[in-house]
Structure 1
Amino acid sequence: MPSTTWITAALLCLAASAHAAPPEPKVLLVVSSEGRDAGKTRPGFEMEEFANAYLVLRANGLQVEVASPAGGAVEADKFEPDDDLIRAVMADSAAASLLKATRRTQDVKPGEHQAIFVIGGKGAMFDLPKDGALQRLLGAHYERGGVLAAVCHGPAALVDVKLADGRLLIAGRRVTGFTDEEEKVFGKRWAKEYPFWLETRSREQGARWEEAALMMPNWVVDGRLITGQNPFSTTQAAEAVVRALGRTPVERTVFKEEASMRLVQRWLAGEQGEVRAQLQAYAARYKVDLIGMLGYYQFESAPDDATRRQALSIMELAAPHMPHPQLKLGIARAHAALGNPKRAREVLTALLAEKPDHAEARKALDALPS
């Protein structure tokens, strides 16, 4: 007959097991294996997107694994190692280890993870859509009740995924991703080699496509399907995954990139005075060059005067803190396009006083009506 001591110990063990915390949910990040030479000879995944997603998921107590079509070490496109976001993820030795030894997608079994999040980057347009193992994994994962997310070019992995009854996963679903407009502006080197453009193919497959203005944060939640439009949508998409897993996102560090986009959103929402004062007092907290370039490229692709005015206002927000000739040229062109040649002349004249050999500025000045 067992001793009283043995029985007591056994009961204590059972009680401890009954009250033990459940294991942390597991999330699989999927990245492209395509990258070579930091994107010079073949495009890879976006390190900033990986960093944002990884840091948000880990901050919320989720386990993270990484997979790619080929497995093993993967290479990101060129990134800025001194960026505060990149420094934060590089300080996590586990993140670096995961990228050096990714799992092969064909070795991942449906049900291993509660969520799968596909990271973007131009490489995702090449190897993810043709990875049959990944297609089957994503379809089976979703049908088992898993959360499925993708950002930027990552939704390229979703467009041909079929469910068990033969229906396309995205047909009739609200989705977003890197838009055709964004591709025309930023995809010039590789876009001509893509097997398809993401927005066009998604619409062809019956998706209910949603998008925001060029490079503005935008994420779409359709039940357990979560998609983000561009790199600046990654943190919100990751937090949507956290919510879909039944958790409330914790307070976290807001890095300069996200803080800058939030500032632009507030600016466009009518908080000009507060935003201008914030930027004046704390410019070092933001990536002002990102704000300026956002306005510049929005103007370059603007289809109407309303969009041009918005782009001009963003450029002028950055201008006092970003003395770059190209930004000043963009501001002048915007004024000219909006029927204000006097202001355009003033900006160009000041630019040429600083840069007398600026050929584009001289040409733009000569083209103004006298």
Structure 2
Amino acid sequence: MIRLTLSCLLAAVLLLNLPSVSAGDRVLVVLSGEGRDAGKTRPGYEFDELSQAWLIFKANGLTVEVASPQGGAIEADKYNPDEPFNAELLADAEAMQQLEDTRRIDELRGEEYAAVFVVGGKGAMFDLPGNAGLQRLLAHAWDNGALIAAVCHGPAALVDVRLADGSLLVAGRRMTGFSNKEEAVFGKKWAAEFPWLLEDALRERGAAWDEAPLMMPKLAIDGRLITGQNPYSTTAVAEAVVRGLGRTPVARAPWRDELSMALVERLRSGDIAGATAALHEDPARYHVELIGLLGYYQAQVAGEDAALLRRALQTMELAMPHMDEPQLKLGAAEAHLRLGQRAEARGLVLQVLEAAPEMGEADALLKRIDG
């Protein structure tokens, strides 16, 4: 009897000395479980957003748990496993085990978490908004003082969340998310099946919508509500969560997508020479294709706004010396033409035709320029 009592006391002492995880250390990451075939037959969540946020949370001493509507294994959309942030998460056995066996949302309690972070991806538009368990969890987390964060399509989970007093969580709050302009360019395959466009739904429910130009980073903070516009806003959202939990984010080397977006911001602020010199000095440090495509698509949505079109053209011109892509030159030529700069447009098209004489798109554009 005495031996049993001593054993119990010893066990209790050992347990008291083990590190514990409090709600103040715990972040719940919510992922869509909709994905199939790497997004080909059904969209899922964005692995890039998950990996960047996870690494930032872990580096700052937070415990990450992962949940999805149905629990169990879930599937991300297609991603590049060689990107450093993805490769690092893929090498984390504990993280991979969690993704193979995500927790079921309706079995969790919101008061157990200091923050809830909803990852984007088009799958979030399908299985997150109508999930009653997720709405309860988010409401309870908010009412218990937690931070609520979401990025890209992730804010879809917040649209119809009602708090204990019956009010909508999003009403009157400054928010951002994947914009209508971004959806028009990048959401063509699935947007027709969405219950609503995210921007429209949030505006209709009283959110104070805020957005940056197409695919540029945007962070919106309204008290304990933190949202990011698109995948390139993920790191800002994750570090805002860390700060919101009373911690100073640890210093880290920015990933190349972050550096690329910062370079474009530098160009857009007027420092064209500085941005050009930085990219020329070390192009491998940046994601040149991202810069080129960013300018290309921003030109498509610029409409009749000459200032937006010029900035898009400058972004394409920043990438062109380091990106041998005929379509990018044609995009820049089209922008020159829309700005009334026919000589510049013609010169670019002739460069394309010299390398690819049979390119019908280039020939058609040349006829428009000369017509």
* TM-score of the aligned structures, taking structure 2 as reference length: 0.93
Equivalent position SS for 2:145? coil
Q: Which residue of 1 aligns with 2:209?
A: 209
Structure 2 alignment gaps of length 5 or more? 1-5
| Greater CA drift, 199-208 or 94-103 | 94-103
Q: Which residue of 2 aligns with 1:306?
A: 307
Q: Is the 8 A contact 1:27 1:62 kept in 2?
A: yes
Structure 1 alignment gaps of length 5 or more? 1-5
Q: d(CA) in 1 for partners of 2:249 and 2:351?
A: 48
Please give the per-residue CA displacement for 1:43-62, whole angstroms capped at 9, x wherever unaligned: 00000010111011111110
Taking every aligned residue pair, what percent have the same amino acid on both sides? 54
Q: Which residue of 2 aligns with 1:346?
A: 347
Q: Which amino acid in the other structure matches residue 353 of structure 2?
A: L
Give yes or no for the alignment of 1:179 onto 2:198. Answer: no
Q: d(CA) in 2 for partners of 1:229 and 1:243?
A: 19
Q: Which residue of 2 aligns with 1:320?
A: 321
Q: d(CA) in 2 for partners of 1:316 and 1:162?
A: 47
Q: Which residue of 1 aligns with 2:362?
A: 361
Q: Which residue of 2 aligns with 1:99?
A: 99
Q: Is the 8 A contact 1:106 1:133 kept in 2?
A: yes
Alignment length, in residue pairs? 359
Equivalent position SS for 2:112? coil
Q: d(CA) in 2 for partners of 1:359 and 1:323?
A: 18
Q: d(CA) in 2 for partners of 1:84 and 1:270?
A: 30
Equivalent position SS for 1:213? coil
Q: Is the 8 A contact 2:21 2:63 kept in 1?
A: no
Q: Which residue of 2 aligns with 1:68?
A: 68
Please give the per-residue CA displacement for 1:180-211, whole angstroms capped at 9, x wherever unaligned: 00000000000000001000000000000000
Please give the per-residue CA displacement for 1:285-337, whole angstroms capped at 9, x wherever unaligned: 11100000000000011131111001000000000000101100001000000
Q: Which amino acid in the other structure matches residue 104 of structure 2?
A: R
Q: Which residue of 1 aligns with 2:297?
A: 297
Structure 1 residue 262: Cα displacement:
1.2
Q: Which residue of 2 aligns with 1:277?
A: 277
Q: d(CA) in 1 for partners of 2:282 and 2:351?
A: 27
Structure 1 residue 22: Cα displacement:
7.6
Q: Which amino acid in the other structure matches residue 105 of structure 2?
A: T
Structure 1 residue 101: Cα displacement:
0.8
Structure 1 residue 172: Cα displacement:
0.4
| Greater CA drift, 99-108 or 268-277 | 268-277
Structure 1 residue 90: Cα displacement:
1.2
Q: Which amino acid in the other structure matches residue 167 of structure 1?
A: S
| Greater CA drift, 352-361 or 181-190 | 352-361
Q: d(CA) in 2 for partners of 1:43 and 1:110?
A: 26
Q: d(CA) in 2 for partners of 1:253 and 1:68?
A: 30
Q: Is the 8 A contact 1:27 1:115 kept in 2?
A: yes
Structure 1 residue 254: Cα displacement:
1.5
Q: Which residue of 2 aligns with 1:82?
A: 82
Q: Is the 8 A contact 1:84 1:256 kept in 2?
A: no
Q: Is the 8 A contact 1:219 1:227 kept in 2?
A: yes
Give yes or no for the alignment of 1:155 onto 2:165. Answer: no
Q: Which residue of 2 aligns with 1:3?
A: none
Q: Which amino acid in the other structure matches residue 42 of structure 1?
A: R
Q: Is the 8 A contact 1:171 1:206 kept in 2?
A: yes
Q: d(CA) in 1 for partners of 2:179 and 2:110?
A: 30
Structure 1 residue 253: Cα displacement:
2.9
Q: Is the 8 A contact 1:332 1:348 kept in 2?
A: yes
Q: d(CA) in 2 for partners of 1:364 and 1:273?
A: 30
Q: d(CA) in 1 for partners of 2:310 and 2:270?
A: 14
Q: Which residue of 2 aligns with 1:267?
A: 267
Q: Which residue of 1 aligns with 2:3?
A: none
Q: d(CA) in 2 for partners of 1:291 and 1:35?
A: 28
Q: d(CA) in 2 for partners of 1:161 and 1:362?
A: 53
Q: Which residue of 2 aligns with 1:51?
A: 51
Q: d(CA) in 2 for partners of 1:325 and 1:337?
A: 18
Q: Is the 8 A contact 1:35 1:74 kept in 2?
A: yes
Q: Is the 8 A contact 2:35 2:76 kept in 1?
A: yes
| Greater CA drift, 307-316 or 264-273 | 264-273
Q: Which amino acid in the other structure matches residue 167 of structure 2?
A: R
Q: d(CA) in 2 for partners of 1:133 and 1:274?
A: 50
Q: d(CA) in 2 for partners of 1:88 and 1:278?
A: 27
In angstroms, what is the RMSD of aligned CA positions?
1.9
Please give the per-residue CA displacement for 1:4-29, whole angstroms capped at 9, x wherever unaligned: xx9xxx9xx89x97xx8985610000
Equivalent position SS for 2:184? helix
Q: d(CA) in 2 for partners of 1:210 and 1:92?
A: 35
Structure 1 residue 84: Cα displacement:
2.1
Q: d(CA) in 2 for partners of 1:114 and 1:164?
A: 18
Structure 1 residue 272: Cα displacement:
2.1
